[in-house]
């Protein structure tokens, strides 16, 4: 037979099995459904932002109407004008929604203390968030291994059980397993990747991003096929092989990640968030009970340009009020840094775990690329903080120079500009995943190449055989 | 001894010889114990943290100096949600809801610092609690133990032998069911024991613990029975295993994740920003207390003057601004409450959509039941928010009344009242929710679990008839 016809014969063989066909169609359907759900979620978030923006325009118009004018006081305007910040879904979010179902993507801030505003939650339904999102990343990380198990666990054992193995191995020519594994690998990757590519086209996502996601999927898929060859060639029966692989899947995607999460939560507490909120409140309210000069002195440390303009008559002036809020923010800077450090530490530990756990590594690469992880949320918070600074600084001249705040001034209030996606390629994580994937494939192909010998010597797979043996004996 | 119990004993004997089965079962039991231990420790750490924070914010409230009462309205109070005792068993939505709310005048702030917002995505793999192990992993073990229970006898032709000796198909199925039902209960035993110890120590209600054990027993039995029934109906054990794993995947992993996506498309949740803007507009519609010609507040003024029998605001024995604050707080609170109720209604509608599918995926039923009994479900969170809001309204109005009643007697342009008054303001005391108060949250999941068991029992009868016929 010529080379192409061997391949097409193998392909027919692959698809003639009801189980294989069902598994592949199921994967295609699930991947499509997940991409569709991801696109729906992204569209929903865009629509929400649009809706909020429209409301915001009306609200600001009302505030301007009531507070800005020839007699307008910047203090009132700054107090009532909440400015909208928005974090629209990045282009790749549809494939890996990550934390975007929980983290706010619209947040209003005003020139008051930022630390009392930055951590506010938006409305989401906690019970719907509880099981985790259904997106392409989920299908890849959780469900693809099961499809690989369905297609790949009985490569060798299936032939042995039907008595064809010796015949197959005695046939001239080489590359039997390479063809069979390659064919399955390609089919699985196509069923999984095709909907992603279509989704990428629909969402006009960057080609390089989609390509890296496919590469990540290919490596992860490689890991599981490698494992399938390794286990399938080492065990005697198909049931044993399947059960052993399911055992691997449980340990790698259900048990170790949850154990690790419990450990990380325990070793890296994040209580500083509450600490800084409480400390900031004390600072701001304490300001009412101390001489105003004290507050101004602290304020001038970082804003020396307004020194000499702090005098005012009477008991209250907005410039003192906003200075007091700023001093409250500055007083908790160390707590803020510690809080951020604890969040970053949790991310870092998760990243390290991803170096050895392919599922977690895949999760890290996809969500860092899509910018939908904690890092993306922190980048959004940073951009809000930068905007808040520009907002304060916009108002200071009006406040400290007692300038009127007219409608024209209101129109000049800085607007937040949505940041660009800061999704990055987590090269280290991808490299580690590549290493794991290729290592598994290499070991698997070594093992399967010796499968003829294995069938005579009743080779046993290392480790993870608990479920496998169980199935073998009860069988 | 009946044939069924003999068959059950034989099944145990076979499984007891199976070293790998024993190892897997032992590992699961170990995992349940580890989950109990880490989860208990985690709960007590969180609880201690929240208690410490609550005590410290209460203390700082008392320690505030002499002030204008309205300053204290905005100094506000922080409240922390205490964790229910059984939350160690099932953390429920606790990690996904904020657990601290800042309460102040004329604003309803969001509950902040949810654990899920501060954790890496690893949290979304699940949390290691006894509930997670029992709900997600235990069914897989039961599947692996039971998938070959009848099929093995079929393949080795021992089934034919038994039937030829006059053992009825029913006895065979009943024996296998008894065998695997006992194993299912044994798998749950360590978790049940921890629950019972907890109840005996007085840390949890007997009623909740008893229902929790019943619920999980039904859940585990369901998988054992499913395993035996599929094993009897499927051709080969290998097919039975594939079917069972497929079912597990759909019921336990896929549907619980996919259904929320469909549910969130059911109804739109308004953002906090939209609610605030709408609220601001509604308030302006009612009236502007700073506008001397405002009809609403002019009527209010007339009423106040008539009530005190005076002609002008200056003659009032109380501070008029304080009365306006009280009225304003009443109005804003009403509008906020309406918005909160709308949000709860939309969320409940979404959740009801998911719950309806518990008929297809009984995981949803056991999850609901478990969270409700553990006091970590969404209803319990709503209850906390509700109590916090009631408390907020009360203390803000107390401070407003202080402003109205005490300020008129104080001279000067910076009137303050004594710090001693802050001690009169009550502190938040959370009254834990009673899961039995919302019995519909318990009845429906139980009905679903029992319905599944009933349906599987009917299937078992059919299977019994089938194996008899096949043997003939």
Q: Do B121 and A363 touch (CB under 8 A)?
A: yes
Mean pLDDT (whole number) for B227-248: 90
Tell me the chain B residues in contact with residue A142 when contact means C-beta distances shorter than 8 Å. 253
- Please classify residue B176 by burial: count the beta carbons closer than 10 Å to its beta carbon, then call 0-12 exposed, 13-18 middle and 19+ buried: buried
Helical pair A333-356 and A427-449, crossing angle rounded to 10 deg: 10
Q: Do B20 and A468 touch (CB under 8 A)?
A: yes
- Nearest CA-CA partner of B378 in B355, B394, B400, B360: B355
Question: What is the pLDDT at residue A169?
Answer: 75
Mean pLDDT (whole number) for B338-362: 94
Cα–Cα distances in angstroms (integers) from residue B249 to residues A99, B257, B363, B448, in the given order: 24, 11, 11, 19
Q: Which residues of A299-336 are buried (b: 16+ CB within 10 A; e: fewer)?
A: bbeebeebeeebeeeeeebbbbbbbbbbbbbbbbeebb
Question: What is the pLDDT at residue A262?
Answer: 92
Q: Is A325 helix (H, G, I), strand (E, B) or coil?
A: helix
Cα–Cα distances in angstroms (integers) from residue A392 to residues A80, A279, A379, A397, in the given order: 14, 21, 20, 10
Tell me the chain A residues in contact with residue B294 when contact means C-beta distances shorter than 8 Å. none
Q: Is B108 helix (H, G, I), strand (E, B) or coil?
A: strand
pLDDT band of residue A452 (cuts 50, 70, 90) is low
A444 neighbors A180 (Cβ within 8 angstroms): no
Look at residue B472 and tell me whether its pLDDT is greater than 70. Answer: no
The 10 Å Cβ neighbour count of residue B48 is 10
A73 φ, ψ (degrees, to nearest 5): -110, 125
Mean pLDDT (whole number) for A265-283: 90
**Does B78 lie at the interface with A, CB-CB under 8 angstroms?**
yes
Tell me the chain B residues in contact with residue A247 when contact means C-beta distances shorter than 8 Å. 24
Question: What is the pLDDT at residue A463?
Answer: 37
Per residue in A81-130, pLDDT (tens digit) is 999 999 999 999 999 999 999 999 999 999 999 999 999 999 999 999 99
Q: How many CA atoms lie within 13 A of B257 on its CB side?
A: 23
Tell me the chain B residues in contact with residue A281 when contact means C-beta distances shorter than 8 Å. 75-76, 102
Q: Do B351 and A129 touch (CB under 8 A)?
A: no
B120: nearest CB among A108, A142, A350: A350
Q: Do A99 and B117 touch (CB under 8 A)?
A: yes
**Does B270 lie at the interface with A, CB-CB under 8 angstroms?**
yes
Rounded CA-CA distance B131/B351 in Å is 20
Question: What is the pLDDT at residue A330?
Answer: 96
B346 neighbors B267 (Cβ within 8 angstroms): yes
pLDDT band of residue A206 (cuts 50, 70, 90) is very high
Cα–Cα distances in angstroms (integers) from residue A289 to residues A295, A321, A406, B66, B176, in the given order: 10, 13, 33, 9, 77
Say which range, A402-411, B14-23, B60-69, B163-172, has the weakest mean pLDDT.
B14-23
A470: nearest CB among B18, B110, B245: B18
pLDDT band of residue A460 (cuts 50, 70, 90) is very low
Question: What is the pLDDT at residue A462?
Answer: 38
A33 neighbors B257 (Cβ within 8 angstroms): no
Pairing label, strands A106-109, B77-80? unpaired
Q: Which two tokens stand for residue A286?
A: 């304490």
A232 neighbors A223 (Cβ within 8 angstroms): no
Q: Do A125 and B65 touch (CB under 8 A)?
A: no
What percent of chain B shows pLDDT beyond 70? Answer: 99
DSSP B243-294: HHHHHHIIIIIIHHHHHHHHHHTTSPPPPHHHHHHHHHHHHHHH--TT-TT-
Question: What is the pLDDT at residue A473?
Answer: 42
End-to-end CA separation in angstroms for chain B: 26
Q: Do B136 and A146 touch (CB under 8 A)?
A: no
**Smallest CA–CA distance from B24 into chain A, residue:** A466
Pairing label, strands A106-109, A83-86? antiparallel
The count of CB pairs under 8 A between chains A and B is 278
Question: What is the pLDDT at residue A216?
Answer: 98
Question: What is the pLDDT at residue A1?
Answer: 52
A128: nearest CB among B76, B249, B264: B264
Q: Do B140 and A277 touch (CB under 8 A)?
A: no
Question: What is the pLDDT at residue A15?
Answer: 79
Per residue in A119-173, pLDDT (tens digit) is 999 999 999 999 999 999 999 999 999 999 988 888 888 878 888 777 777 776 6
Question: What is the pLDDT at residue A464?
Answer: 38
Pairing label, strands B100-104, B107-112? antiparallel
Q: Do B97 and A126 touch (CB under 8 A)?
A: yes
Q: Do B67 and A289 touch (CB under 8 A)?
A: yes
Per residue in A239-253, pLDDT (tens digit) is 778 888 888 999 999
Per residue in A275-295, pLDDT (tens digit) is 999 999 999 999 988 999 999
Look at residue A183 and tell me whether its pLDDT is greater than 60. Answer: yes
Question: What is the pLDDT at residue A471?
Answer: 47
pLDDT band of residue B185 (cuts 50, 70, 90) is very high
pLDDT band of residue B61 (cuts 50, 70, 90) is very high
Rounded CA-CA distance B227/B231 in Å is 6
pLDDT band of residue B244 (cuts 50, 70, 90) is very high
- Please classify residue A47 by burial: count the beta carbons closer than 10 Å to its beta carbon, then call 0-12 exposed, 13-18 middle and 19+ buried: exposed
Helix ranges (H only) for A69-206 are 74-80, 126-129, 136-138, 144-152, 155-161, 165-170, 176-202
Per residue in B284-326, pLDDT (tens digit) is 888 877 777 888 888 999 999 999 999 998 899 999 999 999 9
The C-alpha of B226 sits at a distance from chain A's nearest C-alpha, in angstroms, of 17
- Nearest CA-CA partner of B93 in B354, B405, B344, B382: B382
Question: What is the pLDDT at residue B279?
Answer: 86
Q: Is A120 helix (H, G, I), strand (E, B) or coil?
A: coil
Tell me the chain B residues in contact with residue A264 when contact means C-beta distances shorter than 8 Å. 119-120, 122
> What are the residues facing B67 on neighbouring strands?
B417
Q: Which residues of A30-42 are buried (b: 16+ CB within 10 A; e: fewer)?
A: bbbbbbbbbbebb
Q: Which residues of A417-443 are buried (b: 16+ CB within 10 A; e: fewer)?
A: eebebebeebeebbebbbebbeebbee
Mean pLDDT (whole number) for B98-112: 90
Question: What is the pLDDT at residue A466?
Answer: 42
pLDDT band of residue A458 (cuts 50, 70, 90) is very low
Q: What mean pLDDT, rounded, does chain A reach? A: 90
- Nearest CA-CA partner of B146 in B188, B190, B181: B181
Question: What is the pLDDT at residue A180?
Answer: 87
Q: What mean pLDDT, rounded, does chain B reach? A: 92
The rounded radius of gyration (Å) of the Cα atoms in chain A is 30
Q: Which residues of B213-239 are buried (b: 16+ CB within 10 A; e: fewer)?
A: bbbbbbbbbbbbbbbbbbbbbbebbbb
Say which range, A10-14, A412-416, B253-257, has the weakest mean pLDDT.
A10-14
Per residue in B252-287, pLDDT (tens digit) is 999 999 999 999 887 888 999 999 999 888 888 888
Question: What is the pLDDT at residue A162?
Answer: 80
pLDDT band of residue B438 (cuts 50, 70, 90) is confident
Look at residue A456 and tell me whether its pLDDT is greater than 70. Answer: no
Question: What is the pLDDT at residue A455?
Answer: 41
Rounded CA-CA distance A335/A329 in Å is 10
B110 φ, ψ (degrees, to nearest 5): -80, 155
The C-alpha of B198 sits at a distance from chain A's nearest C-alpha, in angstroms, of 22
Question: What is the pLDDT at residue B237?
Answer: 85
The rounded radius of gyration (Å) of the Cα atoms in chain B is 30
């Amino acid at each position: 037979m010529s080379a192409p016809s061997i391949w097409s014969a193998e392909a027919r063989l692959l698809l003639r099995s009801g189980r294989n066909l069902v598994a592949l169609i199921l994967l295609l359907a699930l991947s499509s459904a997940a991409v569709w759900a991801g696109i729906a979620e992204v569209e929903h978030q865009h629509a929400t932002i649009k809706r909020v923006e429209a409301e915001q325009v009306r609200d600001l118009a009302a505030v301007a109407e009531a507070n800005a004018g020839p007699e307008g006081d910047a203090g009132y305007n700054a107090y009532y004008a909440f400015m909208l910040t928005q974090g629209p879904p990045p282009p790749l979010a549809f494939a890996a929604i990550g934390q975007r179902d929980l983290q706010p993507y619209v947040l209003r801030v005003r020139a008051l203390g930022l630390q009392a505003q930055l951590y506010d939650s938006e409305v989401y339904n906690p019970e719907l968030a509880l099981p985790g999102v259904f997106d392409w990343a989920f299908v890849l990380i959780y469900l693809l291994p099961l499809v690989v198990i369905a297609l790949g666990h009985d490569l060798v054992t299936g032939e042995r059980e039907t008595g064809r193995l010796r015949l197959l191995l005695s046939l001239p020519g080489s590359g039997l397993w390479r063809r069979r594994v390659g064919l399955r690998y390609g089919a699985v990757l196509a069923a999984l990747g095709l909907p992603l590519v279509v989704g990428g086209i629909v969402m006009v996502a960057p080609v390089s991003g989609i390509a890296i996601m496919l590469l990540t999927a290919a490596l992860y898929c490689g890991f599981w096929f490698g494992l399938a060859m390794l286990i399938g060639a080492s065990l005697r029966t198909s049931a044993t092989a399947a059960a052993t692989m399911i055992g691997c899947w449980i340990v790698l995607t259900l048990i170790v990640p949850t154990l690790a999460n419990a450990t990380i939560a325990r070793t890296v507490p994040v209580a500083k968030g509450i600490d800084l909120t409480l400390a900031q409140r004390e600072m701001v309210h304490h300001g009412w009970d101390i001489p105003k000069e004290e507050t101004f002195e602290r304020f001038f440390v970082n804003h020396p340009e307004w020194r000499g303009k702090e005098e005012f008559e009477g008991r209250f002036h907005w410039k003192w009020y906003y200075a007091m809020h700023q001093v409250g923010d500055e007083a908790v800077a160390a707590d803020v840094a510690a809080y951020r450090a604890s969040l970053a530490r949790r991310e870092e530990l998760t990243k390290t775990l991803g170096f050895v756990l392919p599922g977690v590594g895949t999760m890290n690469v996809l969500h860092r690329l899509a910018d939908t992880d904690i890092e993306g949320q922190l980048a959004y918070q940073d951009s809000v903080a930068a905007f808040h600074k520009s907002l304060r600084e916009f108002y200071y001249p009006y406040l400290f120079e007692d300038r009127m705040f007219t409608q024209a001034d209101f129109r000049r209030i800085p607007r937040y500009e949505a940041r660009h996606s800061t999704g990055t390629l987590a090269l280290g994580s991808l490299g580690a995943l590549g290493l794991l994937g290729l290592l598994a494939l290499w070991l698997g192909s070594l093992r399967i190449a010796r499968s003829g010998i294995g069938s005579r010597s009743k080779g046993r797979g290392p480790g993870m055989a608990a479920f496998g043996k169980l199935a073998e004996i009860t069988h | 001894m009946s044939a069924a119990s003999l068959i059950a004993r034989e099944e145990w004997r076979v499984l007891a010889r199976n070293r790998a089965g024993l190892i897997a079962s032992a590992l699961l039991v170990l995992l349940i114990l580890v989950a109990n231990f880490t989860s208990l420790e985690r709960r007590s750490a969180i609880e201690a943290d929240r208690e410490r924070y609550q005590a410290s914010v209460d203390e700082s409230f008392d320690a505030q100096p002499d002030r204008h009462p309205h300053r204290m309205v905005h100094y506000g109070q922080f409240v922390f949600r205490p964790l229910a005792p059984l939350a160690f068993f099932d953390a429920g939505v606790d990690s996904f809801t904020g657990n601290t709310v800042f309460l102040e005048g004329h604003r309803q702030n969001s509950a902040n610092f949810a654990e899920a917002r501060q954790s890496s995505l690893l949290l979304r793999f699940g949390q290691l609690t006894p509930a997670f192990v029992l709900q997600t992993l235990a069914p897989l073990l039961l599947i692996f133990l039971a998938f070959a229970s009848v099929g093995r006898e079929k393949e080795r032709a021992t089934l034919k032998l038994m039937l030829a000796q006059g053992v009825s198909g029913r006895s065979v199925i009943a024996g296998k069911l008894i065998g695997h039902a006992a194993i299912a209960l044994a798998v749950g035993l360590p978790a049940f024991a921890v629950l019972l110890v907890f109840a005996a120590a007085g840390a949890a209600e007997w009623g909740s613990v008893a229902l929790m054990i019943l619920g999980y027993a039904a859940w585990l039995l369901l998988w054992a029975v499913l395993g035996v029934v599929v094993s009897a109906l499927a051709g080969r054990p290998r097919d039975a295993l594939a079917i069972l794993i497929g079912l597990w995947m759909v019921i336990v992993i896929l549907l619980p994740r996919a259904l929320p996506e469909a549910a969130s498309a059911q109804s739109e949740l308004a953002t906090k920003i939209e609610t605030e803007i709408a609220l601001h507009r509604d308030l302006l519609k009612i009236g502007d207390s700073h506008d001397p010609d405002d009809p609403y507040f002019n009527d209010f003024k007339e009423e106040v003057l008539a009530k005190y029998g005076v002609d002008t605001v200056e003659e009032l024995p109380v501070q008029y601004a304080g009365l306006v604050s009280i009225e304003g707080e009443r109005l804003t609170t009403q509008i906020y409450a309406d918005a909160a109720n709308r949000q709860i209604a939309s969320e409940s509608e979404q959740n009801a959509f998911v719950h309806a599918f518990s008929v297809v995926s009984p995981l949803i039923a056991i999850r609901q039941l478990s969270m409700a009994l553990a006091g970590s479900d969404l209803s319990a969170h709503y209850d906390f928010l509700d109590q916090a809001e009631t408390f907020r309204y009360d203390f803000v109005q107390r401070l407003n009344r202080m402003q109205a009643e005490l300020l008129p007697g104080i001279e000067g342009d910076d009137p303050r009242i004594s710090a001693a008054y802050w001690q009169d303001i009550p502190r938040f005391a959370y009254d834990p929710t009673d899961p039995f108060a919302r019995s519909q949250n318990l009845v429906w999941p139980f009905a679903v679990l029992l319905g599944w068991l009933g349906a599987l029992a009917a299937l078992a009868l059919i299977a019994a008839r089938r194996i008899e016929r096949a043997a003939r």
